Structure 1
Amino acid sequence: MELRQLSYAVAVAETGSFTRAAQRCFVVQSALSHQIARLEGELGVRLFERGSRRVRVTPAGESFLGPAREALAAVERARGEAVASGGEVRGALRIGTITPLFAVDLPDLLATYRERHPAVRVTLHASLVRDLVQQVRDNVCDLAFVDTGPDELPRGLTGRALAHEDLAAIVPHGHPLAGAERTTASRLAEEEMVDMPPGSGIRRHNDAVFEAAGATRAVAFEAGTMTLLEQLVARGLGVGLVPAATAARMTAVTSTPTTDVPPRTVQVVWSASGASPAARAFLDLLPEHEPETP
């Protein structure tokens, strides 16, 4: 079993295509397919089901991919440690993030990081917190910014709290709550609501808020982005509960503070087994002190 075979298998699984995997790995498709076939022959199992439109990972493939990613990450970490011992940080840094993110100035951090460590290849992508946590566990991401409390992290991950963010209600202009000084979860539950989809950190937080208040709410619409959520509320399709920093930037709706809604926690998470030199160098740019709870 060779490292390139592991890399090819991971690429096929993540792209769902031998063609796209070959492009990612900078090899011809025939060579990649040959190596995957050799690997399957050595293992005695099929890792992928080949279809006319898409390649699917088999149950055996799912079992294989986790350790394969761990092996590749260990090799990358070993390479990075060796280079870093000479005073230079190299390699790759894969960052995941929720959106929007106001706890840190991510573009400014990335600019500073690139200036200090130009030899590191940085990639950035946004997703739901549920997916980001899994990607860090699977070594698809080196670290991720998520809105989840420290006690909510699964085994294998560690984190550092960066901010506690208040939440605010958003309502259409002219809504009875638009002129209120404050509102409560129970009052919001009297209205139809718009929220982010399950799997997002803010949705999990909001569900817990209304459960704690003993209020049953109806989520009429689920929005994939905060921009769409704002537009749905602006058209009178429901009210929302979003981070106050996000609400302050929304011009199509009116925001109202809440009295009984606890803040959400935004933190950076990485593998408990250790961060690569490239990831450690990025973490060094983040505040180390625990933020005060509002």
Structure 2
Amino acid sequence: MALGSVGMELQQMRYVVAVAETGGFTRAAERCHVVQSALSHQIARLEKELGARLFDRTSRSVRLTAAGEAFVPVARQALEAAERARAEVAAATGEVRGRLAVGAITTVAAVDLARELGAFRTRCPQVRISLQTDMSDELIEQVRQGVLDVAFVGLVPAARTVGVREKELGRGELVAVVPPGHPLAGREWTTLSRMARETFVDFTAGSAARRQRDDAFRAAGLTSEVAFEVTTVEFLAKLVRAGLGVGMVPEAIASELAGLHIVRVRPAPERTERVVWSGLGPSPAAVAFLAGLGVEVS
């Protein structure tokens, strides 16, 4: 691209990514703190240099063209590389800057994530922090792709991750949660074979959260009926409270679910909580954050 400067190239890429992510030129301009006409002009200049339109525009929508679909991932990588370069230079002078994109499952219990993020912001006020929640497999993939810097996930003990580095933060058991009036509500513990007679509210099939229970049932030669699939522990608890089924969640989380009875299960499904980061090397901000958790990345 024969553009005026590297800075201008990055700005144009930033505008294109903003339009792709927000779905419109007006919202993208608001995100980038520029007037829409300036943003549109720079994208038009970039399209002219590329010799291809990046967006199909109608009165109601803005969609990426095939060329746009190819361009946006590369633009994101270029922007991330430029930001990483600035952060590395700042780190060399003793200042931690840049971004820290964190992902977490909703059942993280091994660390007080809110407290840790707050402490990190105090230590490194120049770092832009973001947080998103998702299922473990999706979070690990986003770390692998560089979308996230760090993620807190829950996996069965035997699970192996690929393309990322990790440290185990804790290990625990799953317990059953049942609604008031359920036959198991007054019991302290039950067997896995007894639980197999129940209808379950559980996480989506194939997810790491689901495998924690499925693997234990499979190892015991048992099967179970899952009638309701969810993606958050809050919705799982809501459906269990409504009497639609029973659930199994980490013991550390179960005590936070008001209105449900906790029943220990033997043999108990197990899970490990882990923090994962890029296998290609964490950013200075990620290094500083992980150090605050007592995790060495060297």
TM range (shorter): 0.7 to 0.9
Q: Does 1:183 align with 2:190?
A: yes
Cα separation, partners in 2 of 1:241 and 1:89, compared to 1, 3 Å? same
**Number of the residue aligned with 2:47:** 40
Q: 2:206 & 2:46 partners in 1: Cα distance?
A: 35
CA contact (8 A) 2:54 2:68 kept: yes
> Does 238-247 or 1-10 show the bigger shift?
1-10
CA contact (8 A) 1:48 1:61 kept: yes
CA contact (8 A) 1:69 1:139 kept: no
Higher Rg of the two aligned structures? 2
Q: Mark the runs of 5 or more structure 2 residues left unpaired by the alignment.
A: 2-8
Q: Mark the runs of 5 or more structure 1 residues left unpaired by the alignment.
A: 290-294
Question: Deviations along 1:102-136, whole A, 9 cap, x unmatched?
Answer: 11011221222122112222122222334323332
Q: Does 1:270 align with 2:283?
A: no
Q: 2:225 & 2:58 partners in 1: Cα distance?
A: 41
Cα separation, partners in 2 of 1:23 and 1:139, compared to 1, 3 Å? farther
Q: Give 1:269-288 correspondences, 5 Å limit.
A: 269-288=276-295
RMSD across aligned positions (CA): 2.5
Sequence identity (%)? 53
Q: Does 1:251 align with 2:258?
A: yes
Alpha-carbon shift at residue 199 of structure 1 (Å) = 6.9
Cα separation, partners in 2 of 1:60 and 1:189, compared to 1, 3 Å? farther
CA contact (8 A) 2:135 2:209 kept: no
Question: Secondary structure at the residue paired with 2:190?
Answer: coil
Matched residue count: 288
**Number of the residue aligned with 1:75:** 82
Of residues 127, 136, 139 in structure 2, which corresponds to 1:129?
A: 136
Question: Deviations along 1:59-78, whole A, 9 cap, x unmatched?
Answer: 44343333322222221111
CA contact (8 A) 1:18 1:29 kept: yes
Q: Does 1:167 align with 2:186?
A: no
CA contact (8 A) 2:108 2:154 kept: no
> Does 51-60 or 277-286 show the bigger shift?
51-60
Cα separation, partners in 2 of 1:227 and 1:43, compared to 1, 3 Å? same
Cα separation, partners in 2 of 1:29 and 1:184, compared to 1, 3 Å? farther
**Number of the residue aligned with 2:121:** 114
Q: 2:218 & 2:202 partners in 1: Cα distance?
A: 15
Q: 1:28 & 1:135 partners in 2: Cα distance?
A: 32
CA contact (8 A) 1:171 1:177 kept: yes
**Number of the residue aligned with 1:153:** 161
Alpha-carbon shift at residue 194 of structure 1 (Å) = 0.6
Cα separation, partners in 2 of 1:147 and 1:111, compared to 1, 3 Å? same
> Does 229-238 or 142-151 show the bigger shift?
142-151
CA contact (8 A) 1:192 1:239 kept: yes
Q: 1:186 & 1:58 partners in 2: Cα distance?
A: 54
Question: Secondary structure at the residue paired with 1:167?
Answer: strand
CA contact (8 A) 1:66 1:138 kept: no
Cα separation, partners in 2 of 1:52 and 1:166, compared to 1, 3 Å? farther
Alpha-carbon shift at residue 89 of structure 1 (Å) = 1.0
Question: Secondary structure at the residue paired with 2:269?
Answer: coil
CA contact (8 A) 1:80 1:277 kept: yes
**Number of the residue aligned with 2:14:** 7
Q: 1:71 & 1:81 partners in 2: Cα distance?
A: 15
Cα separation, partners in 2 of 1:114 and 1:52, compared to 1, 3 Å? same
Cα separation, partners in 2 of 1:14 and 1:209, compared to 1, 3 Å? farther
Alpha-carbon shift at residue 85 of structure 1 (Å) = 1.2
Question: Secondary structure at the residue paired with 1:258?
Answer: strand
Q: 1:199 & 1:52 partners in 2: Cα distance?
A: 40
